[in-house]
Amino acid sequence: MYRIILKLVFILMGAGILRQAAAYLLNEGLWVDPAANSGRVLLSASVVGAVLGLIIGPRIIDRLEQAMGRLISSLNRTSPYDLVVGAVGLVVGLLIGILATLPIPDHVPIIGEYVPLIVTLSVGYVAMTVALKKKEELLNLFNLFPRSVDKQTGRERRFFGQKVPSKILDTSVIIDGRIADICRTGFLEGTLVVPGFVLEELQHIADSSDVLKRNRGRRGLDILNKMQKEPGVTIKIDYRDFDDVSEVDTKLIRLAKLLGAKVITNDYNLNKVAELQGIPVLNINELANAVKPIVLPGEEMVVHVIKDGKEQGQGVAYLDDGTMIVVDGGRKYIGEDVGVMVTSVLQTAAGRMIFAKPKAMEKAL
């Protein structure tokens, strides 16, 4: 039905435009045959315009449908936050466009009635585009002291003009699950942002035919649902996407630059790439290593030796937090609990490693 209406609109527009052009030429004496019957000329011009509108209209309608489809798809991927900012920019631009067209004379031949409309729409589009590109700067002009919600009291508090940056969660850290426990402790300030393309990746993993991948994806979705229900934890879904990029990690970095946000991950490669591009990174693995209990040389402990070490005579044990303890001469204690004394501690990128000797050997020495 709407296509029929649009065709009628184009037919009337074609007839009206050519009739107006013919009337102008007749009134100014510019018609080829000055003695021509004006009524017939206007009627002929209207018929020709209507035919042109009937021929060209469907093609324009098809293009409009394609453009509207792309527009609707883009709006579905756009966050409500961007929609509000764009709408405000559009309204402001239309007002500026209307004011700018007031000095334009309305007696310009043929196109005089359409110039103000074109100028107004153009200015509105430009203003909307600028508002979307510069939304963070524009909002900072109206909010000089950004606020954050206190996790304990639920009240808003100011940070002396410093905005609390958002934190973007990547797929690996969501599946890992430790981020939920960290949020529950209240150590993370600001909004946690989950990009729409990360949600799509989680969904693809959850729908995988591989059982292990499917369980990991479902675990990630369960973790997000759990975090959304935690009091004091603010999670925002950002549906912005970058169609010219296929890699999720690259999209994460571009979104972090756009938002001025930090990235939370436990992916070593993403960590290094983000740091090279100047994006602040919060690595869950580094945090886990930092909060492990400090063990100093000379301390004593009881460990359970479970396997051989790499060197001859060595045994390997583990603390409750997963820290590996290499017991020199501990091979003969495999499967037993033995008291050891720490001799040295080695911190590596993979974690902390403790070297020790059985206390019985220390006494013998």
Query: For residue range 89-117, what is the model confidence (pLDDT) as tens digits?
Result: 889 888 988 888 777 665 555 555 667 77
Under the banding of pLDDT at 50, 70 and 90, the label for residue 355 is very high
Q: Is residue 212 part of a domain?
A: yes
pLDDT in tens, 125-160: 888 888 877 776 666 666 544 444 443 333 334 443
Give the confidence band of 305 by pLDDT, cuts at 50, 70, 90.
Answer: very high
Inter-residue contact 271 to 285 (CB < 8 Å)? no
282 with 338, same domain? no
Percent of the chain with pLDDT over 70: 82
Both 120 and 171 in one domain: the answer is no
Q: 185 falls in which pLDDT band (50, 70, 90)?
A: confident
Q: Which residues partner with 132 through β-bridges?
A: none
Same domain, 176 and 236: yes
Tell me: pLDDT of 73 over 80.
Answer: no
- pLDDT above 50 (res 363): no
Q: What is the pLDDT of residue 349?
A: 59
Tell me what the pLDDT averaged over the chain comes to.
80
pLDDT category of residue 36 using cuts at 50, 70 and 90? low
188 close to 180: Cβ distance less than 8 angstroms: no
Same domain for 307 and 211, yes or no, is no
**154 domain-assigned:** no
Do 170 and 232 fall into the same domain?
A: yes
Identify whether 334 is part of a domain.
yes
Whether 311 maps to a domain, the answer reads: yes
- What average pLDDT does this structure show over 170-192? 86
Claim to verify: residue 175 and residue 105 sit in the same structural domain: no
Domain count across the chain: 4
Last residue of a domain, one of 290, 311, 345: 290
Q: In this predicted structure, what is the pLDDT of residue 350? A: 61
* Residue-level pLDDT at 304: 92
Between CA 201 and CA 209 the distance in angstroms is 14
Examine residue 149 and state whether it is found in any structural domain, yes or no. Answer: no
The answer to whether residue 120 is domain-embedded is yes
Model confidence over 331-351: pLDDT tens digits?
888 999 999 999 998 876 566
- Residue 317 shares a structural domain with residue 355: yes
Give the range among 16-30, 75-89, 135-149, 303-317 with minimum mean pLDDT.
135-149
According to the per-residue pLDDT averaged within each range, which of 90-104, 199-213, 275-289 is highest? 199-213
**What's the confidence (pLDDT) of residue 22?**
79
Per-residue confidence band for 163, with pLDDT thresholds at 50, 70 and 90: low
Q: Both 101 and 221 in a single domain?
A: no
Residue 150 maps to a domain? no
pLDDT at 326: 92
> Which of residues 118, 144, 170 is at a domain's end?
144
The last residue of one of the domains, among 244, 270, 290, is: 290
One domain for residues 197 and 244: yes
199 and 286 assigned to the same domain: yes
User: Looking at the structure, do residues 7 and 28 belong to the same domain, yes or no?
Assistant: yes
Lowest model confidence (mean pLDDT) among 17-31, 120-134, 218-232, 272-286: 17-31
- 217 within a domain of the structure (yes/no): yes
Q: What is the CATH number of the domain that holds 271?
A: 3.40.50.1010
Please indicate whether residue 242 or residue 36 has the higher confidence score (pLDDT): 242
pTM: 0.47
Same domain, residue pair 35 and 88: no
Count the neighbouring beta carbons within 10 Å of the beta carbon of residue 313. 12
Q: What is the CATH number of the domain that holds 343?
A: 2.40.50.140
Structural domain that includes position 25: 1-77
